[in-house]
Amino acid sequence: MTLHERDARATGPAPETKALLMSNSMPSKNLPPLTLVTGGAGFLGSHLCDRLLAEGHEVLCLDNLITGRKENIRHLFDHPHFHFVLHDVTRPMDLPALLAASSGQRPVPPRPLSCLLHFASPASPKDYARHPIHTLKVGALGTYHALGLAKAQGSAFLLASTSEIYGDPEVSPQPENYWGHVNPIGPRSVYDEAKRFAEAISMAYYREHAVKVRIVRIFNTYGERMRLEDGRALPNFMVQALEGKPLTVYGKGSQTRSLCYVSDLVEGLYRLLMSDQTGPLNLGNPEEVSIRQLAEAIIRATGSKSSIIFAPLPEDDPQRRQPDITAAREKLGWEPRVSLENGLARTLPYFQAALRNAPQPADDSRQ
């Protein structure tokens, strides 16, 4: 069943959503839960908006469109329960003002916010290198503003944290009780330390103000709607393979990552939101591959004749990354279902179509 089919069949909030509502103060039984997603036009945020709508939420999607894209949410503009607000989370967030600024099919009936999912942030190394101060401000000021709103509204608050808080880890796989190995002043620190601060302030709001905090540490995730040029290994390799160009593996390619397909991740996120778990909880696919193996898998999946070339390893590039998901298995009954091979096959048509529709460079010899 597609998300839209689920939408069409939905007659109201799913049972677990109703359970959440019981614990949140809601003025009317007949209105769907009002849920705000910061970064809702991003890769993960837009998939979350789809899922929340399918589960019967009314969704306020906030984005400043620095790295998010309207294309990711365009299919939702006609949905009666979807509303977009152009807003930068580094500026204060006030619910009546956000509602007044929102664009949607109809005005949002005012009521408290049931859930706030804080996903706004540049998230690829290339993006946060390009916006270092903004990345720090989003993790610090943005999280502070989002927590203030969740506190005022009595909302459940889900923080999108990251495996980056483990830095270049000395233990593998990484369990949640590993404190990490982060260079506080290196090029990746603007993201890593911002997310570490975001976790710290979320826990402070949980302890001091009893905000219903859930923290997820998201490991590398891929799928439809990734930006072709976001600089990450998977989109770079997909585009290079589909264009018949050499795949650029940094370093020797022996560094590892564990890649989770987006539908698996979204399932885990929704389960965490509906749970009473503060976390932090790792969500990711424990299937670990070297970057060279990833490049080879993408050459196979695309049927490309591309070769592999080696380029310098970026500074502080983590050598290993693999989630220990024991806690998510036990507390959420969750584990990924989609193998890397299947996930690449599912993602391929998106990259093929995106490349067909991408504007051609002026000097492109294909024209």
Rounded Cα gap, residues 275 and 63, in angstroms? 26
- Site of tokens 């390009």: 130
Q: φ and ψ at 190, to 5 degrees?
A: -60, -30
Residue that has been written with the tokens 């969740």 in this structure: 150
Rule CB under 6 A: is residue 118 a binding residue for ligand UDP?
no
The residue count for binding ligand UDP (CB under 6 A) is 16
**In the chain, how long is the greatest CA-to-CA distance?**
61
By CB under 6 A, residue 255 contacts ligand UDP: yes
298/332 with CB nearer ligand UDP: 298
- As a whole number of angstroms, the distance between CA 119 and CA 105 comes to 24
Tokens 């509303």 — which residue? 83
125 binds ligand UDP (CB under 6 A): yes
Decide: is 257 part of the binding site for ligand UDP (CB under 6 A).
Answer: yes
3-state secondary structure of 16: helix
- DSSP-assigned letters across all residues of 55-111: TT-EEEEEE--SS--GGGTGGGTT-TTEEEEE--TTS---HHHHHHH-EESSPPPP-
Among 24, 172, 183, 248, binds ligand UDP (CB under 6 A): 248
CA distance 341 to 325: 20
> Which stretches does DSSP call E strand in 20-57?
34-38
Residue 35 CB, nearest distance to ligand UDP (Å)? 28
Element (H, E) at 258: strand 256-258
Per the annotation, the verdict on 128 as an active-site residue is no
- The nearer residue to ligand UDP, 67 or 124, going by C-beta atoms, is 124
How far is 74 from 211, CA to CA, in rounded Å? 32
CA dist 246 and 36 (Å) reads 41
Minimum distance of ligand UDP from residue 11's CB (angstroms):
41
Select 99 or 298, whichever has its Cβ closest to ligand UDP: 298
Q: Which stretch binds ligand UDP (CB under 6 A): 12-20, 61-69, 127-135, 248-256?
A: 248-256
Minimum CB distance to ligand UDP smaller for 158 or for 249: 249
Q: Could you tell me the smallest distance in angstroms from the CB atom of residue 48 to ligand UDP?
A: 20
The answer to the question of residue 246 lying near ligand UDP (CB under 6 A) is: no
**Residue 320 touches ligand UDP, criterion: CB under 6 A:** no
* Helix H or strand E encompassing 50: helix 43-54
Segment interacting with ligand UDP, rule: CB under 6 A, options 18-26, 85-93, 152-160, 243-251: 243-251
C-beta of 148 vs 186, nearer to ligand UDP: 186
Work out which of 152, 263, 314, 331 binds ligand UDP, going by CB under 6 A: 314
The nearer residue to ligand UDP, 84 or 128, going by C-beta atoms, is 128
- In whole angstroms, give the CA distance from residue 366 to residue 82: 40
Stretch that binds ligand UDP, among 64-72, 230-238, 274-282, 297-305 (CB under 6 A): 230-238
Q: Please give the structure tokens belonging to residue 138.
A: 């989003």
- When asked if residue 220 is in the footprint of ligand UDP (CB under 6 A), the reply is yes
Catalytic site residue from 191, 205, 222, 270? 191
Binding site for ligand UDP (CB under 6 A): 124-125, 220, 231-233, 236, 248-250, 255, 257, 291, 313-314, 317
Residues noted as catalytic: 191
